[in-house]
Amino acid sequence: EAQVTQNPRYLITVTGKKLTVTCSQNMNHEYMSWYRQDPGLGLRQIYYSMNVEVTDKGDVPEGYKVSRKEKRNFPLILESPSPNQTSLYFCASSTAGSLDYGYTFGSGTRLTVV
Amino acid sequence: AQKITQTQPGMFVQEKEAVTLDCTYDTSDQSYGLFWYKQPSSGEMIFLIYQGSYDEQNATEGRYSLNFQKARKSANLVISASQLGDSAMYFCAMRPYNFNKFYFGSGTKLNVKP
Protein backbone atom coordinates (compact mmCIF):
# COMPACT_ATOMS: atom_id res chain seq x y z
CA GLU A 1 0.00 0.00 0.00
CA ALA A 2 1.29 3.44 -0.97
CA GLN A 3 1.70 5.46 2.16
CA VAL A 4 3.60 7.92 4.28
CA THR A 5 4.45 6.45 7.68
CA GLN A 6 4.96 8.91 10.47
CA ASN A 7 5.93 8.06 14.03
CA PRO A 8 5.06 8.51 16.78
CA ARG A 9 1.35 9.44 16.61
CA TYR A 10 1.40 11.04 20.04
CA LEU A 11 4.31 12.40 22.04
CA ILE A 12 4.54 14.28 25.30
CA THR A 13 7.98 15.56 26.19
CA VAL A 14 9.68 18.08 28.43
CA THR A 15 11.29 21.34 27.44
CA GLY A 16 14.81 20.90 26.14
CA LYS A 17 14.79 17.15 25.56
CA LYS A 18 15.82 16.40 22.01
CA LEU A 19 13.36 14.42 19.93
CA THR A 20 12.98 13.07 16.42
CA VAL A 21 9.78 12.46 14.50
CA THR A 22 10.32 9.94 11.74
CA CYS A 23 8.76 10.02 8.29
CA SER A 24 9.09 7.38 5.59
CA GLN A 25 7.37 7.02 2.21
CA ASN A 26 7.27 4.01 -0.12
CA MET A 27 6.23 5.79 -3.34
CA ASN A 28 9.67 6.88 -4.54
CA HIS A 29 8.56 10.50 -4.24
CA GLU A 30 11.18 13.17 -4.77
CA TYR A 31 9.46 15.87 -2.77
CA MET A 32 8.89 15.67 0.98
CA SER A 33 7.80 18.30 3.43
CA TRP A 34 6.97 18.92 7.07
CA TYR A 35 4.05 21.04 8.24
CA ARG A 36 2.71 22.10 11.56
CA GLN A 37 -0.98 22.73 12.09
CA ASP A 38 -2.23 25.17 14.70
CA PRO A 39 -5.82 26.34 15.28
CA GLY A 40 -6.77 29.25 13.03
CA LEU A 41 -3.46 29.17 11.18
CA GLY A 42 -3.93 26.23 8.86
CA LEU A 43 -0.85 24.30 7.83
CA ARG A 44 2.48 26.06 7.82
CA GLN A 45 5.49 24.61 6.14
CA ILE A 46 8.54 23.97 8.31
CA TYR A 47 11.04 22.43 5.88
CA TYR A 48 10.92 20.74 2.55
CA SER A 49 13.21 18.59 0.42
CA MET A 50 13.29 18.34 -3.34
CA ASN A 51 15.47 15.21 -3.29
CA VAL A 52 18.26 13.45 -1.43
CA GLU A 53 20.60 15.91 0.28
CA VAL A 54 18.49 18.86 -0.92
CA THR A 55 16.56 20.61 1.84
CA ASP A 56 15.29 24.13 2.33
CA LYS A 57 13.46 26.22 4.87
CA GLY A 58 9.74 26.76 4.76
CA ASP A 59 7.81 29.48 6.55
CA VAL A 60 8.49 28.48 10.16
CA PRO A 61 11.86 26.68 10.34
CA GLU A 62 13.12 28.11 13.65
CA GLY A 63 13.76 25.41 16.24
CA TYR A 64 13.67 22.53 13.75
CA LYS A 65 16.18 20.53 11.74
CA VAL A 66 15.74 18.00 8.96
CA SER A 67 17.89 15.68 6.91
CA ARG A 68 17.38 13.71 3.69
CA LYS A 69 20.06 11.06 3.51
CA GLU A 70 17.81 8.57 1.76
CA LYS A 71 15.00 9.25 -0.66
CA ARG A 72 12.37 7.52 1.45
CA ASN A 73 13.15 9.10 4.84
CA PHE A 74 12.77 12.67 6.02
CA PRO A 75 13.04 12.96 9.83
CA LEU A 76 12.14 16.10 11.75
CA ILE A 77 14.45 16.92 14.64
CA LEU A 78 13.70 19.22 17.55
CA GLU A 79 17.05 19.80 19.25
CA SER A 80 15.62 21.68 22.23
CA PRO A 81 11.83 21.62 22.18
CA SER A 82 9.90 24.47 23.73
CA PRO A 83 6.20 24.75 24.65
CA ASN A 84 5.49 26.90 21.58
CA GLN A 85 6.31 23.87 19.47
CA THR A 86 3.30 22.06 20.85
CA SER A 87 1.35 21.35 17.69
CA LEU A 88 0.06 18.76 15.24
CA TYR A 89 2.78 17.84 12.75
CA PHE A 90 2.36 16.34 9.32
CA CYS A 91 4.86 14.84 6.96
CA ALA A 92 3.83 14.80 3.31
CA SER A 93 5.32 13.61 0.05
CA SER A 94 4.66 14.17 -3.63
CA THR A 95 6.17 13.51 -6.99
CA ALA A 96 7.83 16.51 -8.56
CA GLY A 97 7.01 15.42 -12.08
CA SER A 98 3.42 16.49 -12.42
CA LEU A 99 1.54 19.59 -11.43
CA ASP A 100 -1.65 17.70 -10.73
CA TYR A 101 -0.15 15.40 -8.15
CA GLY A 102 -1.15 16.33 -4.65
CA TYR A 103 0.33 15.45 -1.34
CA THR A 104 0.13 12.12 0.39
CA PHE A 105 0.09 12.88 4.08
CA GLY A 106 1.25 10.90 7.05
CA SER A 107 -1.20 10.29 9.88
CA GLY A 108 0.14 13.18 11.92
CA THR A 109 2.07 13.50 15.18
CA ARG A 110 0.45 15.32 18.04
CA LEU A 111 3.32 16.78 20.07
CA THR A 112 2.98 18.32 23.51
CA VAL A 113 5.96 20.05 25.10
CA VAL A 114 5.59 20.76 28.81
CA ALA B 1 3.05 36.42 -2.94
CA GLN B 2 0.98 33.28 -2.88
CA LYS B 3 -1.95 33.22 -0.51
CA ILE B 4 -5.02 31.11 0.11
CA THR B 5 -8.02 32.59 1.88
CA GLN B 6 -10.87 30.65 3.42
CA THR B 7 -13.24 33.18 4.94
CA GLN B 8 -15.60 30.75 6.68
CA PRO B 9 -14.08 29.47 9.92
CA GLY B 10 -17.18 27.38 10.60
CA MET B 11 -20.34 26.35 8.82
CA PHE B 12 -23.46 24.34 9.51
CA VAL B 13 -25.48 22.43 6.94
CA GLN B 14 -28.51 20.22 7.21
CA GLU B 15 -28.06 16.60 6.27
CA LYS B 16 -28.89 15.89 2.59
CA GLU B 17 -28.50 19.54 1.60
CA ALA B 18 -25.71 20.95 -0.56
CA VAL B 19 -23.03 23.23 0.87
CA THR B 20 -20.37 25.46 -0.67
CA LEU B 21 -17.06 26.10 1.03
CA ASP B 22 -15.31 29.21 -0.22
CA CYS B 23 -11.69 29.50 -1.26
CA THR B 24 -9.90 32.36 -2.98
CA TYR B 25 -6.26 32.43 -3.93
CA ASP B 26 -3.69 34.94 -4.95
CA THR B 27 -0.91 34.05 -7.34
CA SER B 28 0.98 35.55 -10.24
CA ASP B 29 1.75 32.12 -11.69
CA GLN B 30 -0.10 31.09 -14.84
CA SER B 31 0.16 27.37 -14.09
CA TYR B 32 -0.94 25.98 -10.79
CA GLY B 33 -3.01 23.25 -9.22
CA LEU B 34 -5.81 23.65 -6.70
CA PHE B 35 -6.65 21.00 -4.14
CA TRP B 36 -9.14 20.35 -1.39
CA TYR B 37 -8.39 18.16 1.61
CA LYS B 38 -10.67 16.87 4.34
CA GLN B 39 -9.51 16.45 7.92
CA PRO B 40 -11.92 14.48 10.12
CA SER B 41 -11.68 14.61 13.89
CA SER B 42 -9.24 11.69 13.80
CA GLY B 43 -6.71 14.09 12.29
CA GLU B 44 -5.62 12.55 9.02
CA MET B 45 -5.60 14.58 5.80
CA ILE B 46 -7.67 13.10 2.99
CA PHE B 47 -7.37 14.30 -0.61
CA LEU B 48 -10.75 15.14 -2.13
CA ILE B 49 -10.43 16.87 -5.47
CA TYR B 50 -8.00 18.58 -7.85
CA GLN B 51 -8.39 21.38 -10.42
CA GLY B 52 -5.66 22.48 -12.83
CA SER B 53 -5.42 26.13 -13.79
CA TYR B 54 -5.76 25.26 -17.48
CA ASP B 55 -8.66 22.88 -17.04
CA GLU B 56 -11.71 24.35 -18.73
CA GLN B 57 -14.20 22.12 -16.99
CA ASN B 58 -14.88 22.09 -13.29
CA ALA B 59 -13.56 19.02 -11.53
CA THR B 60 -15.97 16.51 -10.02
CA GLU B 61 -15.38 13.52 -7.76
CA GLY B 62 -18.55 11.82 -6.66
CA ARG B 63 -20.44 14.22 -4.39
CA TYR B 64 -17.61 16.76 -4.55
CA SER B 65 -17.28 19.36 -7.24
CA LEU B 66 -14.99 22.33 -7.56
CA ASN B 67 -16.49 25.58 -8.79
CA PHE B 68 -13.46 27.11 -10.49
CA GLN B 69 -13.63 30.76 -11.53
CA LYS B 70 -10.18 31.66 -12.77
CA ALA B 71 -10.81 35.35 -13.37
CA ARG B 72 -12.06 35.73 -9.82
CA LYS B 73 -9.33 33.45 -8.49
CA SER B 74 -11.80 31.34 -6.61
CA ALA B 75 -11.99 27.57 -6.18
CA ASN B 76 -15.03 26.78 -4.09
CA LEU B 77 -15.81 23.25 -2.99
CA VAL B 78 -19.39 22.10 -3.39
CA ILE B 79 -20.57 19.07 -1.45
CA SER B 80 -23.91 17.74 -2.63
CA ALA B 81 -26.29 15.75 -0.45
CA SER B 82 -24.33 16.28 2.77
CA GLN B 83 -23.87 13.31 5.07
CA LEU B 84 -23.07 13.20 8.77
CA GLY B 85 -19.66 11.80 7.88
CA ASP B 86 -18.87 15.02 6.01
CA SER B 87 -18.46 16.82 9.34
CA ALA B 88 -14.79 17.75 9.32
CA MET B 89 -12.27 20.49 8.70
CA TYR B 90 -11.71 21.30 5.04
CA PHE B 91 -8.56 22.86 3.63
CA CYS B 92 -8.05 24.51 0.28
CA ALA B 93 -4.51 24.38 -1.12
CA MET B 94 -2.60 25.58 -4.15
CA ARG B 95 0.56 24.24 -5.76
CA PRO B 96 2.34 26.68 -8.08
CA TYR B 97 4.21 25.54 -11.13
CA ASN B 98 7.61 25.59 -9.45
CA PHE B 99 6.50 22.63 -7.29
CA ASN B 100 8.44 23.56 -4.20
CA LYS B 101 5.51 24.40 -2.01
CA PHE B 102 1.85 23.88 -1.33
CA TYR B 103 -0.01 26.82 0.15
CA PHE B 104 -2.88 26.09 2.50
CA GLY B 105 -5.82 28.14 3.72
CA SER B 106 -6.73 28.31 7.38
CA GLY B 107 -9.57 25.84 6.94
CA THR B 108 -13.34 25.68 7.29
CA LYS B 109 -14.95 23.50 9.93
CA LEU B 110 -18.13 21.98 8.56
CA ASN B 111 -20.80 20.56 10.83
CA VAL B 112 -23.58 18.50 9.28
CA LYS B 113 -26.75 18.46 11.35
CA PRO B 114 -29.13 15.47 11.33
Write out pLDDT tens, residues B38-94.
999 999 999 999 999 998 899 999 999 999 999 999 999 999 999 999 999 999 999
Q: At residue A97, does pLDDT exceed 70?
A: no
Helical spans, DSSP H, in B1-114: none
Confirm if A75 and A22 have CB atoms less than 8 A apart. yes
User: Most A CBs within 10 Å: which of B41, B53, B99, B109, as the mutation test of the A interface?
Assistant: B99
Please name the residues in contact with B56: beta carbons below 8 A apart, sequence gap of 6 or more.
Answer: none
Which of A74, A32, A23 has the alpha carbon at shortest distance from A50? A32
Tell me what pLDDT residue B99 has.
63
pLDDT digits (tens, 9 = 90+) for A26-74: 999 999 999 999 988 889 999 999 899 999 999 999 999 999 999 999 9
Q: Do B43 and A110 touch (CB under 8 A)?
A: yes
User: Most B CBs within 10 Å: which of A103, A107, A111, as the mutation test of the B interface?
Assistant: A103
Please name the residues in contact with B46: beta carbons below 8 A apart, sequence gap of 6 or more.
Answer: B37, B38, B39, B40
Q: At residue A108, does pLDDT exceed 90?
A: yes
User: What secondary structure letter does DSSP report for B58?
Assistant: P
